[in-house]
Amino acid sequence: MNDRNRELRPFVPQPDDDMIVCRCEEITKGEIRRAVHDGMFTLTEIRRYLRTGMGLCQGQTCTKLVKGIVSRELGVRPNELGPATGRAPMRPIEMKVLAKDKEETK
Amino acid sequence: MMKRYDMIVVGAGPAGLSAAIEAAKKGMHVVVYDENAKPGGQLFKQIHKFFGSKEHKAKIRGFHIGEELLAEAAELGVEVVLNAIVIGIFPEKEVTVKVEDHVIHVKGDTILIATGASENMVTFPGWTLPGVIGAGAAQTMMNLHGTLPGKRVLMLGSGNVGLVVSFQLMQAGCEVVAVADAASRVGGYGVHAAKVARCGVPFYLSHTIISADGEDCVTGVTIGEVDKNWQIIPGTEKHFDVDTICLAVGLSPMSKLCDMAGCAMEDNPAKAGFVPTVNEYGETSVPGIYAAGDVSGIEEASSAMIEGRIAGIAAAARLGFISEETCKEEAAKQEAALEGLRQGMFAPGMRGKQITETEEGVEISQNLLKHGFVAEEEIERFPGVTHSAGVHPVIECTQNIPCNPCQDACPKHCIRIGSNITALPSIDPEKKCTGCGMCVASCSGQAIFLVNEDCGDGTAEVTLPYEFLPLPQKGDKGVALNRKGEKVCAAEVVHVRSAKAFDHTNLLTMKVPKEYAMKARFFREEETA
Amino acid sequence: MNAEVIIVGGGIIGCAAAYNLAKNGVSVLVLEGSENIGNGGSTRNGGGVRQSGRDPRELPLVMYSIEHIWPQLSDMLDTNVEYYQEGNLRLGSTPQHQKILTGLADSAAAHGVDVRMITGDEARRINPYLSEAVTCASWCPTDGHANPLMATMGYYKMARRLGAHFISGEKVVELRKIKGAARQVVTASGNVYEGDKIILAAGYESRFIASTVGIDVPMQQVLLETLVTEAVGPMFWQMLGTADADFYGHQTEHGSFVFGLNSGLEPYAKPGKPLSSSIAASAACRGIMHYFPDLANIKVVRTWAGWMDACADHVPVISKVEEVPGLILACGFTGHGFGISPAVGLVLSQLAMEQETAVDLSALRYDRFQ
């Protein structure tokens, strides 16, 4: 996994490569598979390169799907891929709301 | 000064509320935040009766359990704040929460993360079309918002969620055209499958969705059989005209908040995803931050409640509200209750194992696993199925699941399970059934029938649990369906009993020709024979 | 494992150096300490490609990058790095701001950068979304921005395609001299790699690694925080900053806004994993809405934090180390390494190949602190 020159099976187009996997950012299965062949081996790298899981739902829907595709492409188990970091805010929040932060005082 | 609580609970579901109750009982100042407008998490969607024993609130419907928890929390002074989105957990156990149009900062000496789970999706061409929804979403639409998700539905997934929601879809008035599952065996409780199957829903195991059809929304679905490499076998395609495809393909812990809080995490397939590592009290690697319920591993609401209680007790001990000894004692009691739930064929440790016989040594119904119902030639071998003169219970409970309300329900003690909660119920031939029907109504799996195999006039009477509206009336004529949901004979309703003690499980008694006494298991009105 | 050049650090500097070396047929091995390529400031910064506000010692690197590399980089890397050269507005609303901005503009102009002071109204003509609160601004029309994630991953992708070897999760703990020259790189897992040249581009970690061969670069770790919003339709393309430096950022090609934050408490962040604070994003939102009221309803979807390697005199060390032959340092970028990274990658490859560098690096030598 850590050796980025790891041999992968050759990239063969698949009939459902144009199927959208990350709905928020409209990233397809083919783009994800291609990214793996371009060296994006971890979920974090895929996110940085393609924006999967970086939209409004922050990966709640697609993280497992992306993991499945990447792990099949790499020939590893999905849980070997490492986590996708959880970051605030847990839900999208308008700037004007975030801007109004008051300490709850007794 | 920042407001500080003894315990901040994130999520007002079964785990969060139970923890808050337990902590508040010990004198802790507790606040519960939930992003939804209604508290209760998934409980308020659960209109079916729960399994388990008394201590697990068995045979009580989920939403009633939710109401009980809320009332108890309120009584104990727990602050439950709704429409409150926890934005993040920061160092020093500082929590920021969106409330109305602003953000508040609060601190907790302990924090319980009980954020639950989200639904998994599967991809197939057309999966992003409107009309493809999670089964949980369908349940929310029906049971919380009073909206039908569609008219004709295909359910993908035969786990408990898929089965329970299929049944609820029919209760709400939808037609369920099929339950499909890529696995080769029904994943959920057999009794849940059986109550769906006898309504006429076909089960397609080893089948998955090939595509959802439609331009702007779902107008149909094509499924096909998969081989052992999960590839579609050509020629096995089946098309259904549907407007809704429900996906019940598992849940994933919603654990991002734990990760953000700095808890050590693990990707654990046995817990269905990315979860915080916790000790026996649910405490994460960050001292004073606990996790309970689905967020720390997918299980049932019943287990979530106990995990929550254990975390509440542990937090109380951590902050000196109770002694270590009391904590150990009380936690041990809860652990025992949790252990009780984690028994039987569906226990977490049994996942993936092929079971061929019950604990009693009875061969498992293969038909139930492949088609969702026990075949006629299989049913007789189970201890709940006996024959005697006059009315008597027939218990079509064929798998070892942790559930025993039927044993207490019978005032005449006809039904025995014993101390092992997962044992199959059996009939005591010495005790005389009066036909009161308490067992029928108490069975969360709707698996108990009262049968009088020979009424003396060539007919038999079958009493079955009935949870559909409109309720048939005495004298209504219709057809009896067998376990597979096929019409087998004409049937006439001889009475319908509804009692407060039955909690909305109506007892419908139908008269059928006596040769159908052990075949007829459901009544359908509209198609007059 | 051996290579002609071993690069310690798989950030944009390491990846860009690897790309330039691999393109010249040099065998390269890149060792990244974390599990992910581009894990430090490379993928956590605000994406500025600025000349304005930059220390004169760094100006040749950024000007070279803007003139020769950034406009071609997407083609070079077969990756859309989303480079936009649409100018930089640094905004002010008080006389004090006017003074700060004028000072910055004058200093840049003295070094040949086109930075001028403009009025609030002139600024609003450039960016109609600015509020009336803006009374002055500095304007550098040749500045711009790019996407740090795409640029970093693009350099990585292309370097790898050209044959550079990358290993992640391989934390370097020691350099060893062999017969007077830096040759060996030892990792926490006990592996030893050997190369003719070693480029040390491991951010703040470089300090501890360099010290194993008796070299110190005076720098400290300072937190930077960033937020990103949901995507909306295109509004403006300029890079933005403020006289108070309380926020900076831009709208990306994707439609989201990326803003760097500054609450003032960043230098005091606890060491360890970089953590977002509970207040910085809120403070930044107030600042952003003061100047851009139209952004009030846009949703923030994510915040993150990262460490920068803040050098004692706020500019990096990009230098051969003559007393440790074979060692080349590239660290201490102080939070503004992204805009110059294309030129830095180039000059590092030139240093490693013993060629004359495209830009004079004498002001960035390692021994300037002595």
Cβ pair B223, B136 in contact under 8 A: no
Residue A2 in any domain: the answer is no
Identify which of B134, B95, B101 has the alpha carbon closest to the alpha carbon of residue B118.
B134
Partner residue opposite A4 with nearest CB, options C168, C303, C304: C168
**Helix, coil or strand: residue C307:** strand
When pLDDT is cut at 50, 70 and 90, the band that residue A106 belongs to is: very low
Over the range C206-240, which residues count as b (16 or more CB within 10 Å of their CB) and which as e? bbebbeebebebebebbbbbbbbbbbeeeebbbbb
- Average pLDDT score over chain B: 95
DSSP-derived 3-state class of residue B30: strand
Shortest Cα distance, chain C CAs vs residue B212, angstroms: 29
Pairing of strands C192-200, C181-187: antiparallel
Question: Hunting for tokens 């009691």 — which residue is that?
Answer: B333
Local structure of B94: helix, strand or coil: strand
Give CA–CA dist A104/B4, Å, rounded: 9
Contact between chains at C278 and B96 (C-beta distance less than 8 A): yes
pLDDT bracket for residue A103 (50, 70, 90): low
Dihedral sign (CA B426, B428, B434, B438): negative
Query: How far apart, in Å, are the Cα atoms of B107 and each of B6, B256, B397, C107?
Result: 9, 19, 49, 47
Q: How far apart are CA B510 and CA B517, in angstroms?
A: 10
Report the C-alpha dihedral over residues B435, B437, B443, B446, rounded to 10 degrees. Answer: 90
Parallel/antiparallel/unpaired status of strands B84-90 and B79-81: unpaired
Contact at CB, A55 and C230, closer than 8 angstroms: yes
> What's the ipTM?
0.95
Question: Hey, are the CB atoms on A21 and B123 less than 8 Å from each other?
Answer: yes
Please give the pLDDT value at position C49: 97
Report the distance separating Cα C155 and Cα C162, nearest Å. Answer: 10
Which B residues in the span 247-276 are in contact with A, Cβ-Cβ below 8 Å? 252, 254-260, 265, 267-269, 273-274
Nearest CA in chain B to A15: B125
Phi-psi region for residue A51, left (φ > 0), alpha (ψ -120 to 50) or beta? Answer: left
Structural domains for chain C: 2-74+148-218+312-369 (3.50.50.60), 86-144+220-311 (3.30.9.10)
Total structural domains within chain A: 1
Please, are residues B452 and B512 in contact by the beta-carbon 8 Å criterion?
A: no
- B126-135 pLDDT, tens per residue? 999 999 999 9
Run of H or E residues at B406: helix B405-409
pLDDT, position C99: 97
* Mean pLDDT for back-to-back runs of 10 residues, chain C (370 residues): 95 98 98 96 94 95 98 98 98 97 94 96 98 97 97 98 97 97 97 98 98 97 95 97 94 96 88 92 96 97 95 97 97 97 98 98 96
Min Cα–Cα distance to chain C from A15, Å: 24
Return the number of other C-beta atoms located less than 10 Å from residue C11's C-beta. Answer: 29
- Tell if the CB–CB gap between C276 and B88 is shorter than 8 Å: yes
Cβ of B262 and C270 within 8 Å? no
**CB-based contacts of C370: which residues, under 8 Å, 6+ apart?**
none
Touching check for C276 and chain B: CB below 8 Å? yes
Q: Which domains does chain B have, with CATH numbers?
A: 3-118+252-341 (3.50.50.60), 121-249 (3.50.50.60), 375-524 (no CATH)
Residues of C in contact with A38 (CB under 8 A): 157, 160-161
B90 and C276: CB-CB below 8 Å? yes
* CB < 8 Å to B90, chain A: 88
Euclidean distance between CA atoms B21 and B14, whole angstroms? 11
Interface A-B, measured as beta-carbon pairs within 8 A, has a size of 105
Beta strands C192-200; C2-8: pairing state: parallel
Rounded to the nearest angstrom, the gap between the alpha carbon of residue C232 and the centroid of all alpha carbons in its chain is 26
Q: Is B10 on the interface with A (CB under 8 A)?
A: no
Amino acid in the structure at residue A44? T
The DSSP 8-state label assigned to residue B332 in this structure reads H
Would you state the structure tokens that stand for residue B7, as one six-digit string?
């315990």
Answer positive or negative: Cα dihedral of B59, B62, B63, B68: positive
Phi, psi of C328 (to 5 degrees): -125, 125
Q: Is C99 on the interface with A (CB under 8 A)?
A: no
Q: How close A75 gets to chain B, by Cα (Å)?
A: 15
Mutate to test the interface with C, among B96, B99, B256, B257 (most CBs of C within 10 A): B96
CA distances in angstroms from C183 to C170, C210, C326, C327, listed in the order given: 17, 13, 7, 8
N-term to C-term CA, chain A: 52
Q: What is the pLDDT of residue C263?
A: 83
Residue A55 forms contact with B (CB below 8 Å): no
B401: amino acid identity, one letter: I
Contact A98 B103 (CB under 8 A): yes
What is the rounded average pLDDT of the residues B235-255?
A: 97
**In 3D, which of B325, B255, B254, B323 has the Cα closest to residue B284?**
B255
At B330-380, the pLDDT tens digits run 999 999 988 888 888 888 778 778 889 999 999 999 999 999 999 999 999
Chain A residues with CB under 8 Å of B88 CB are: 87-90
A32 is a domain residue? yes
Candidates C270, C273, C278; nearest CB to B88: C278
- Looking at residue B141, the DSSP 8-state letter turns out to be I
B458 in Cβ contact with B514 (< 8 Å): yes
Check CB contact of A95 with chain B, cutoff 8 Å: no
Whole-prediction pTM value? Answer: 0.94
Cα separation, B422 vs B341, whole angstroms: 9
CATH of the domain at A31: 1.10.10.1100
The amino acid present at A35, given as its one-letter code, is A
Minimal Cα distance from C273: which residue of B?
B262
Give yes or no for residue B33 having a pLDDT over 90. Answer: yes
- Is A39 domain-assigned? yes
CB contact under 8 A, A106 and B103: no
Peptide bond just before A89 cis, omega within 30 deg: yes
- Rounded to the nearest 10 degrees, the angle between the axes of helix B301-318 and helix B324-341 is 170
Contact at 8 Å (CB) between C8 and C202?
yes
Q: Mapping DSSP to helix (H, G, I), strand (E, B) and coil, where does residue B109 land? A: strand
pLDDT (mean) for B137-150: 95
Backbone φ and ψ for A103, nearest 5 degrees, come out as: -70, 135
Count other Cβ atoms within 10 Å, centred on residue B499: 14
Of C305, C266, C341, the C-alpha closest to C11 is: C341
List the single best residue of C42, C78, C81, C157 to mutate versus A (max A Cβ within 10 A): C157
Instruction: For B442-483, write each residue's pLDDT tens digit.
Output: 999 999 999 999 999 999 999 999 999 999 999 999 999 999
d(CA B300, CA B401): 13
Q: Are strands B3-10 and B102-113 parallel, antiparallel or unpaired?
A: parallel
Polymer length in residues for chain C: 370
Contact B392, B434 (CB under 8 A): no
Task: Please indicate whether, in this complex, the C-beta atoms of C275 and B91 are within 8 angstroms of each other.
Answer: yes
Q: Taking CB atoms and an 8 Å cutoff, what residues of chain C touch A5?
A: 160, 165-166
d(CA C174, CA C192) in angstroms, rounded, equals 9
Strand, helix or coil for residue B525: coil
Q: Which residue has the tokens 């990239």?
A: A11
Provide the residue count of chain A: 106
The alpha carbon of residue B90 is apart from the nearest alpha carbon of chain C, in Å, by 6
CB–CB of C170/C187 below 8 Å? yes
- Nearest-neighbour CA in chain A from B163: distance (Å): 22
Separation of alpha carbons B502 and B500, rounded Å? 5
Q: What percent of chain B clears pLDDT 90, i.e. is strictly above it? A: 88
CA distance C103 to B211: 64
A 43-102 residues with CB below 8 A of C? 44-45, 48-49, 51, 54-56, 58, 82, 85, 87-89, 92-96, 98-101
Contacts of C170 in chain A (CB under 8 A): 2
Q: How many CA atoms lie within 13 A of A60 on its CB side?
A: 19
pLDDT at B528 over 60: no
**Could you tell me which residues are beta bridge partners of residue C88?**
C140, C239
- Chains with at least 3 CB pairs less than 8 angstroms from chain A: B, C
Compute the distance between CA of residue B139 and CA of residue B301 in angstroms, rounded to an integer: 15
Residue B202, both tokens = 């076909």
CB atoms within 10 A of CB C100: 18
Pairing of strands C2-8, C116-119: unpaired
Within a domain: residue A29? yes
In chain C, which residue's Cα lies nearest the Cα of B87?
A: C278
Please state, in angstroms and rounded to a whole number, the distance separating the CA atoms of residues C368 and B120: 57
Give the residue on C whose Cα is nearest the Cα of B95.
C278
How far apart CA B260 and CA C44 sit, in angstroms, is 17
| Nearest-Cα residue of chain B relative to residue A57 | B118
Name which of B8, B86, B87 to mutate to probe chain C: the one with the most chain C Cβ atoms within 10 A of its Cβ.
B87
Chain C: partners with 3+ C-beta pairs within 8 Å: A, B
Q: Using 50, 70 and 90 to split pLDDT, how confident is the model at B529?
A: very low
Question: What are the helix (H) ranges across chain C?
Answer: 12-23, 59-64, 70-77, 95-110, 120-126, 148-161, 206-211, 280-291, 341-352
DSSP class of residue B232 equals: B
**At B290, which helix (H) or strand (E)?**
strand B289-291
Residue B520 contacts residue B463 (beta carbons within 8 Å)? no
Which of B102, B128, B259 shows the shortest C-beta gap to A20? B128
Tokens of C364: 């960035």
Q: Name chain A contacts of B256, Cβ cutoff 8 Å.
A: 58, 86-87, 90
Using the Cβ of B502 and the Cβ atoms of chain C, whether some distance falls under 8 Å is answered with no
User: Residue C177: helix, strand or coil by DSSP?
Assistant: strand
- Tokens (6 digits) for B448: 């108990």
Over residues A75-96, the pLDDT tens digits come to 999 888 877 888 999 999 999 9
Residue A6 lies in a domain: no
- Residues ≥6 apart with Cβ < 8 Å to C187: C31, C170, C171, C172, C173, C193
Q: What's the rounded Cα separation, in Å, for the pair C342 and C332?
A: 16
Q: Which two tokens stand for residue A26?
A: 């409209």
To probe the interface with A, which of C7, C149, C150, C258 has the most A CB atoms within 10 Å?
C149
The boundaries of the domain holding residue A72 are 20-98
Query: How many angstroms separate the CA atoms of C70 and C154, rounded?
Result: 13
